[in-house]
Structure 1
Amino acid sequence: MFKKALCQSHLSRTLLVLLALLTVTGCGKNAAGPVTAPIPVKVVVVNMFEIGEDEGDTAGEFQLWKERQQLSQRFAFPQSHHDLFLNPETGVLGMVTGMGTNKSASAVMALGLDPRFDLSKAYWLVAGISGFDPADASIGSAAWAEWLVDGDLMHEIDSRELPEDWSTGIFPLFSKGPYPEKRPPNLGEVFRINGDLTEWAYQLTKDTELGDDATIAENRQAFTDFPNAQRKPFVLKGDNLAGMTFWHGDYLNRWANRWVDYWTEGQGRFVSSAMEDTGTAQSLLYLDRAGRADYDRLMVLRTASNFTVPHPGMTAAESLLSEGEDYAGLQLSLESAYRVGSRVVDTLVEGWETYRDQMPYAVEAVQGE
């Protein structure tokens, strides 16, 4: 009796595994259709969230991409946050990872291991909103990052319990206090992506005309101590701090600048604060090792929906609570992400016969000789 039950248990587990494989490989009831060979993908657009429906209502990060890039072919993706959408004519694939490094890492890993797609030549474009340091840019601006720094892997002591000679209670793992001269081993605190590709994307898009908003234009004039915050939205290069905690305020903004400077050994500059990009980079690094993706083809574009410090005349608490769930610059920043990011995507697709096997910056270097 026990042996029979055990066999039935093994059979049930086997059937479950087979059903899962059928779903992933395109044979399940929710699949986009039978797949005989992996679909070659040219560009993966990585968004982090959507609001409501994917089309026809208030836009989140994904909606403009889905509509304007005509991502019409749906692929069930039950092993992650959100289904995948492909334009079968252009080879552009859109994904929504969910918010936070845990979801971005797991979603990118799940896609990278999905047998329905050939991602060996794919470029990856992260396109999302974030908080910006007003010292660097204005609401609606777009920043290309080369350095991605993690804001979670650390020791922390509450500021009310700091030793008198400590400048902060936040300091690296496996260290004896704030900012030791000898950096501890990198456990995922910092990722450097392909600087040549980042520079190429920046040069391609730096003169992109970004939208503006009358209310935001009026409000930015109050940032008299921050000339860059008073500018119309523009494209720049600047690096990203990724952390699961939505932090805000002058003191934490100073920490963010120093933390990025520390882990990049002075080569990076904090501009944008978000939650996911180190998770995306970590998974792509592992997928690269496995021959499933090319880490050197990752690009990260963040646009400013809000600032990381209070508006003049407001406390950090007042500023955070006023912006917490309804960023004044949300729609402007989403439009900027698409205008800037789509120039890169369209250029890669149009020149795919060349860019499939050669990086665009390498092609331009040869043409310039």
Structure 2
Amino acid sequence: MRLFVLLSAFAGTVLATAVLVEHGKPLPEKRISPKVMIVTHYDDEQNIFTGNSADDSSFGNLLAQTIPVKGLFSQFPDVHCTHNSDVCIYVTGEGMSHTAASTMAVAFDEQFDLKKTYFLAIGVGGGNPKTCTMDKVARFTIQPTLEYELGGDDVPSNFTSGYFPEGATSPNDTIGYVYDSEVYEVNADLRDAVAAFIGDSVLVDAPDAEAYRANYAADPDFKIGASKPGVRKCDVISSDTWYSGKVIADSFDARASAWTNGQSVYCSTAQEDGATATALLRAHVAGKVDYSRLILVRTITDFDRPYPGQAAIDNLINDGGVGYAIGVINMFKGGNEIILGILKNWNRIYDKGIKPKGYVGDAWAVAGGNPDFLLGRESGGSPVSIPEPPGPPVTLSRKSRRKI
């Protein structure tokens, strides 16, 4: 089942004559400085916002302005904004590559001043029935994608999985080489604040989705997954691969825990969040955005493993899509509450920002600070030195890559 929202019209905007100059390039007379930038990944995710944002209970018509941005995905070449530019939205395209490139394009576009903008990266995804049933707001995005893989009969009999980290010797080794794409931590204090805006009562359910979730109640470990839609504060696995099955899901669960020193709670899957964090952290270092204003939200449309008695392949491709429509609807409902909460409390709280009490950033601390995961363990959380760039290719050894 898929949900489509018809768009009634598009409205254009003409940029003012450029009179300012930065780095030798002309800038618009007044740059657009949204309070919230919604980051979506494909048409349904954007359409649910643009089709409903003009309602009285929302924040304004997102199609009031259309701003072309060079470098965005050709199918979605524009950023759309409300008439007062308080809220804007763009589509990255699905997957890591599209998302990183599109987000960098927006972050570095000189039509915008994004230094105080909250980036609400929101979309649908899979869920871990042990820990989540509908909306989740994350502290960590974990990306177990630079991996070794053995398939089918090639997997040794004593291996629990054919998928394990590069630099490791078996799935028992949860950590191998560290490339600094494995873990990103966002502002946990901001996460807590915006999660409180979403009440369970605003989320919707459907009889077919409720009946499907009931299958998971046969396993006590899946009690949460079988329950009604609710909001959870837990974390996301980012991977271009859409996976299904207990073996790989448990493997990623163990990986997430090991890489974050037991701090993460894996509850959802996504194909873009790690790329969004990567792009915005680099833009932060360049002085274009404030990485501590990144919010990661996913609503659950399906589960990452089958219910008791179901084959993994059926969970992957034959679940009937019963959770898709309510997942998309709840994405808007939850996102709308977050946006309204930020706008209503802008002068009192969000203009100044919510300062993180803990670490935010990557494992190599490219923006400074003391990582509390991966490489941060080497010296008990003291500042981490970034490895020197490798020498010429002829001297590069795989063993020279940073291991912990």
Same fold (TM over 0.5): yes
- Counterparts in 2 of 1:115 and 1:63: CA distance versus 1, 3 Å: same
* Aligned: 1:347 with 2:351: no
User: Counterpart of 1:359 in structure 2: which amino acid?
Assistant: G
Matches within 5 A, 1:116-195: 116-138=111-133, 141-180=134-173, 184-195=177-188
| Alignment deviations for residues 197-252 of structure 1 (CA, whole Å, 9 cap, x no partner) | 11112223244431110111222222221211221100011110011111111211
TM-superposed CA distance for 1:78, in Å, is 4.5
Could you list the runs of 5+ residues in structure 1 that have no partner in the other structure? 1-29, 51-59, 363-369
* Residue identity in the other structure for 2:126: G
Give TM-score scaled by structure 1 length.
Answer: 0.81
Q: Counterpart of 2:318 in 1: which secondary structure? A: helix
Q: Which amino acid aligns with 2:45?
A: E
Task: State which drifts further: 176-185 or 79-88.
Answer: 176-185
What CA distance in whole angstroms lies between the structure 1 residues aligned with 2:174 and 2:227?
37
Identify the residue that residue 93 of structure 1 maps to in structure 2. Answer: 88
Q: Secondary structure at the match of 2:126?
A: strand
Letter in 2 for 1:352: W
- Residue 309 of structure 1 is matched in structure 2 by 305
72, 77, 94: which one aligns with 2:69: 77
Superposed CA RMSD in Å reads 2.1
What is aligned with 1:318? 314
Shift of 1:182: 6.6
Deviation per CA, 1:282-339, whole angstroms, max 9, x where unpaired?
Answer: 000000000000110001010111111124433112222214xx62211101111111
- In structure 2, distance between residues paired with 1:42 and 1:63: 20
**Which letter does structure 1 place at the counterpart of 2:228?**
K
* Distance in 1, Cα, partners of 2:144 & 2:232: 22
Deviates more, 1:281-290 or 1:129-138: 129-138
- Distance between the aligned counterparts of 1:166 and 1:312, measured in 2? 23
**Partner residue, 1:53:** none
- Shift in Å at residue 67 of structure 1? 2.6
Q: How far, CA to CA, are the matches of 1:102 and 1:266 in structure 2?
A: 29
Deviates more, 1:241-250 or 1:68-77: 68-77
SS at match of 1:124: strand
SS in 1 for 2:264: coil
The one-letter code sitting in structure 2 at the alignment partner of 1:42 is: K
Q: How does 1:162-311 map to 2 (within 5 A)?
A: 162-180=155-173, 184-223=177-216, 224-225=218-219, 226-311=222-307
| SS of equivalent residue, structure 1 residue 229 | coil
SS in 1 for 2:228: coil
> Hey, what does 2:51 align to over in structure 1?
67
Larger CA deviation: 31-40 vs 114-123 = 31-40
Change beyond 3 A, Cα 1:179–1:80: farther
The 5 A counterparts of 1:24-43 are 32-34=14-16, 35-43=28-36
Q: CA deviation at 1:111?
A: 0.1
Distance apart, 1:45 and its partner CA: 0.5
Cα distance in 2 between the residues matched to 1:46 and 1:356: 19
Does structure 1 conserve the Cα–Cα contact (< 8 Å) formed by 2:128 and 2:303? yes
CA distance, structure 2, for counterparts of residue 255 and residue 43 of structure 1:
35
* 8 Å CA contact 2:123, 2:298 repeated in 1: yes
- Do the aligned partners of 1:31 and 1:76 also contact (CA within 8 Å) in 2? no
1:90 Cα offset (Å): 5.0
Cα-to-partner distance string for 1:149-168 (whole Å, 9 max, x where unaligned): 11312222235333454433
State how far apart, in whole Å, the 2-side matches of 1:64 and 1:222 are. 29
Aligned-pair CA distance for 1:260: 1.2
Which stretch of structure 1 is more off in the superposition, 192-201 or 63-72? Answer: 63-72
Secondary structure of the equivalent of 1:230?
A: coil
CA distance 1:222–1:165, shift in 2 (3 Å): closer
Is the 2:234–2:265 contact (alpha carbons within 8 Å) kept by the matching residues of 1? yes
Q: Residue 66 and residue 184 in structure 1: after superposition, are their counterparts in 2 closer, same or farther (change >3 A)?
A: same
Structure 1 residues 360 and 284: alpha-carbon distance in aligned structure 2, compared to 1, 3 A threshold? same
